[in-house]
């Protein structure tokens, strides 16, 4: 499938670097890489990638992967002078692995299509550890032809790859996934605070919940490994990043005329955590602001 194709990868952050490393090591193809931070670029060059030096140079690749921290960053690398839109051409495919706003996704897909290029939104889910292990989950929005072309590449760093429909559908699924996870973890944090005040430890509570109908992936991962363990490191999926994704969910709800009350609550708690100085910490740190509010009352 790859033949003599050239790949590009822009954005080598917490998730982008390990994804790109899998691509370099498993495809054995030329991979042009670019990031403003020289350190991950250097590590990937040692792994066999090529330092492109600029977005414009990466834009020469046949298939370009993007992993950006926000829609604003995605919009910039596409629309700036020397950006992806300027160099887009027929036969090229752009794959956005970021979590990006639905409207922007469809706008960029249309702008690229006008130049003959094809676009797929393929936001990734799961953790940095999953990115390192190559076991991410990816929801893809693309035509059937584009999906069949990129699926084997995505499977180099993902164990679950789901075609959700046309462009934009991958973002819808990923954003709503995060919305549901925030609602679940917020409930777990509230339950933990109530249990502790009643003399039951969070660990005991979560162990019991895991054996009943309240069991979930969020409980066994965000709950056990972060909330119960009181582990909220930086350079993991942060409070500010999760609030960004919740803002995208609320924008979609507004456009649909839906009053997403639980999502609004989750977004508000994330804002409070950021204002309390936890913006860079792993986002289940929201338990700390929930505990503080209970003590104030």
What is the rounded radius of gyration, in angstroms, for the C-alpha atoms of the chain? 20
Residue-level pLDDT at 235: 84
Does the pTM surpass 0.75? The reply is yes
What Å distances lie between residue 195 and 100, 145, 203, CA to CA?
Answer: 37, 52, 10
pLDDT at 25 (0 to 100) = 96
d(CA 293, CA 297): 6
CB-based burial label for 235 (10 Å; 0-12, 13-18, 19+): exposed
**pLDDT for the residue numbered 89:** 97
- Return the pLDDT at 120: 98
Torsion of CA 237, 180, 214, 205, to 10 degrees: 40
Residue 162: C-alpha distances to residues 169, 177, 234, 236, 246 (Å) = 10, 13, 29, 24, 22
pLDDT at 29: 93
> How many whole angstroms separate alpha carbon 29 and alpha carbon 292?
52
Q: How far apart are CA 180 and CA 247, in angstroms?
A: 13
Helix (H, G, I), strand (E, B) or coil at 16: helix
> Tokens 């069991």 appear where?
215
pLDDT block averages, 10 residues each, the chain of length 297: 81 96 95 98 98 97 97 97 97 97 98 98 93 98 98 98 98 97 98 97 98 96 96 93 97 97 97 98 97 73
β strands within the chain, DSSP E: 7-10, 31-34, 50-51, 63-66, 93-96, 118-121, 124-125, 136-141, 158-165
Residue 236: the pLDDT is: 87
């Amino acid at each position: 499938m790859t033949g003599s194709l050239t790949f590009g990868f822009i954005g080598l952050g917490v998730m982008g670097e390990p994804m790109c490393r899998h691509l370099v090591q498993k495809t054995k193809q030329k991979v042009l890489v670019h990031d403003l931070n020289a350190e991950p670029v250097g590590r990937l060059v040692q792994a066999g990638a090529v330092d492109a030096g600029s977005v414009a140079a990466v834009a020469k690749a046949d298939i370009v992967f993007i992993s950006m921290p926000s829609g604003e960053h995605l919009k910039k690398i596409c629309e700036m002078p020397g950006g992806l839109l300027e160099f887009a051409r027929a036969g090229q495919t752009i794959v956005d692995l970021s979590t990006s706003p639905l409207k922007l996704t469809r706008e960029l897909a249309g702008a690229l299509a006008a130049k003959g290029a094809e676009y797929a939104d393929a936001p990734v889910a799961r953790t940095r550890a999953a990115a390192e292990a190559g076991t991410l989950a990816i929801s893809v929005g693309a035509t059937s032809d584009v999906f069949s072309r990129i699926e084997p590449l995505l499977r180099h760093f993902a164990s679950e790859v789901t075609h959700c429909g046309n462009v934009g559908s991958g973002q819808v699924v990923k954003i709503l996934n995060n919305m549901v996870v925030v609602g679940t973890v917020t409930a777990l944090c509230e339950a933990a605070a109530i249990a502790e005040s009643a003399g039951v430890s969070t660990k005991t509570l979560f162990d019991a919940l895991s054996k009943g109908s309240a069991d979930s992936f969020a409980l066994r991962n965000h709950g056990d490994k972060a909330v119960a363990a009181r582990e909220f490191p930086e350079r993991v999926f942060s409070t500010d990043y999760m609030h960004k994704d919740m803002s995208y969910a609320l924008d979609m709800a507004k456009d649909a005329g839906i009053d997403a009350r639980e999502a609004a609550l989750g977004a508000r708690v994330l804002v409070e955590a950021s204002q309390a100085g936890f913006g860079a910490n792993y986002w289940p740190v929201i338990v700390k602001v929930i505990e503080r509010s209970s003590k104030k009352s």
